[in-house]
Structure 1
């Protein structure tokens, strides 16, 4: 590069560095924001970026972009740090959500009556519910027979005699006692469908939305003053880290699913249906993107960022490399020699 080209490059670099001081940059941004936003506001969204291009960006950055394994480790360690911190442990549930907010969520969920009935049907049809109700009914029948029936309560000596008889049978004739218990279990098994149906009918007809809301809010009253230290008792940081890893592994598979693709593509399609042919001014207005918000964000970040880059020498090095390509170009040499 000629001596004159070097001198011009140096002057140009220093000019750009002077322009990129925090005060000068913010002044320049204030002058340029209005005309730039005004120009952009007249351009329709689909001319700036097509629906297909936005879908491809999401796919590249969210779906196919590799996620470092360290992300899960960092997230787990950060969660553990929060999990053990005193401000977290000493916070009460009502410091995080008010009773009014909680009740709002409960009320809205309870409005979904059809879904609530479906959940009741599905829960009661689960094998674990069949096992639960069988055990409860069995214990209730045997307890009634041996302890709580009217005869044993009101006739002196009957209760003791029944208990003694049961003990004698268990020792002397276990098969007889076992046969009786088996008979009770068989009766329960044969009537399980009836028990299940009665359970469904009772829950759907007897538990109104008001009853459920009252019960849930009673539960809230019991726990809202408890600290997170009390509520997370029995769960340690290892459990939390394992949940983070499970969430990370789930996301790796979920983001490649057809369902997730349908989700983001549907959202993008909706966005372009609403805003695609509209000038960007409409989107800016709905998202409250104004000249003031742009400048306010820049005032937060630019001074520290520009000062750090300048003091490190990185900013000048970037500017010098960028400008040098022009001063070394054949076009500049040709003009210089003309």
Structure 2
């Protein structure tokens, strides 16, 4: 309080104490905090009604933030380890659970999901591509050839047998694949139903029969390694920018309050979450003296400023 008279400095100290005490009570008293939450959220939404997204923030700024956290933000250190630890814990919990798979997902819901997946154009196109692939035909032929062991036959006979088996197998493979091509969606549905019938009575804990803890760890490593390289490609940067552009093209002229409504977040939701987290968190840090210290740190510069000294006449 350099430059102030002793009376002005004393007034500044008393006003600071009163101001800190007032603001602290507003934060720590449940009734006062509830009123503060209602007041601030109402004021924010009133302003948000008149503020379109594109006026509140530019798409270039959003792209910069998206690039930072999706591309430049490191995924090393504790993050992969934490994901792996969480996955392992969920796996350990699942392997000890005796809940039936049929109780987790009803058969009717499962079949609706399977039918939806089978009817997707993507599913049909992918299965058609597999059935049309020369590699699929070759795999079928090789499987049949392996079943016919000609190694114990005389050389000339073995050559003839192998040739004949290949021709017959290739013809049969083409016939079978062509016949199933038109029923691709039924193949998916039938396979899904078989999976359900085979596993509906099993418990969630039986997942260890098909998925081991090492499989979980390997999957985590594979996902992170893929993400680490994929996010650095020009293609990923381009689709990230396209995603931001689409949001602004669609919602740029939409007010922030309407945008929140589109996202399913209303005034009552904001108030509810503020009251859920605010009081317990503030009470905890107030017990350590953090609230008063923070308020005093933010308010004291004004009461020691030249502006305040000018107001009270030094």
TM-score exceeds 0.5: yes
Structure 2 residue 219 is matched with structure 1 residue 273 = no
Taking a change above 3 Å as real, the CA distance of residues 69 and 138 of structure 1, as seen in their structure-2 partners, is closer
**SS of equivalent to 1:232:** helix
Structure 2 residue 190 is matched with structure 1 residue 183 = no
Query: What's 2:278 paired with?
Result: 302
Match of 1:6 among 5, 10, 13: 13
Counterparts of 1:211 and 1:128 in 2: how far apart (Å)? Answer: 16
Counterparts of 1:101 and 1:95 in 2: how far apart (Å)? Answer: 11
Taking a change above 3 Å as real, the CA distance of residues 36 and 134 of structure 1, as seen in their structure-2 partners, is closer
CA deviation map 1:181-212 (0-9, x unaligned): 3321123345665444323212114x363464
Counterparts of 2:91 and 2:301 in 1: how far apart (Å)? Answer: 52
The two structures have a TM-score, normalised by structure 2, of: 0.85
Match of 2:303 among 303, 327, 332: 327
CA contact (8 A) 1:43 1:280 kept: yes
Counterparts of 1:237 and 1:210 in 2: how far apart (Å)? Answer: 34
CA contact (8 A) 2:130 2:136 kept: no
Alignment of 1:1-338 (within 5 A): 1=1, 2-23=9-30, 24-85=32-93, 89-112=97-120, 115-116=123-124, 118-122=126-130, 125=133, 127=135, 130-136=138-144, 139=147, 177-189=154-166, 194-205=171-182, 207=183, 209-210=185-186, 212-233=188-209, 235-338=211-314
Taking a change above 3 Å as real, the CA distance of residues 82 and 215 of structure 1, as seen in their structure-2 partners, is closer
Counterparts of 1:208 and 1:118 in 2: how far apart (Å)? Answer: 10
Counterparts of 1:181 and 1:124 in 2: how far apart (Å)? Answer: 30
CA contact (8 A) 1:275 1:282 kept: no
- 1:16 is displaced (CA, Å) by 1.2
Query: What's 1:161 paired with?
Result: none
Counterparts of 1:3 and 1:98 in 2: how far apart (Å)? Answer: 73
- 1:286 is displaced (CA, Å) by 1.8
Q: Considering only CA atoms, is the larger Rg found in Structure 1 or Structure 2?
A: 1
Taking a change above 3 Å as real, the CA distance of residues 244 and 86 of structure 1, as seen in their structure-2 partners, is closer
| Number of residue pairs aligned between Structure 1 and Structure 2 | 306
Counterparts of 1:91 and 1:278 in 2: how far apart (Å)? Answer: 46
Stretches of structure 1 that go unaligned for 5 or more consecutive residues are 143-169
CA deviation map 1:271-317 (0-9, x unaligned): 22222113234323322332211111111111111101101112221
CA contact (8 A) 2:145 2:162 kept: no
Query: What's 2:5 paired with?
Result: none
**SS of equivalent to 1:20:** helix
Counterparts of 2:193 and 2:89 in 1: how far apart (Å)? Answer: 32
Runs of 4+ off more than 4 Å:
126-129, 190-193
Counterparts of 2:204 and 2:155 in 1: how far apart (Å)? Answer: 48
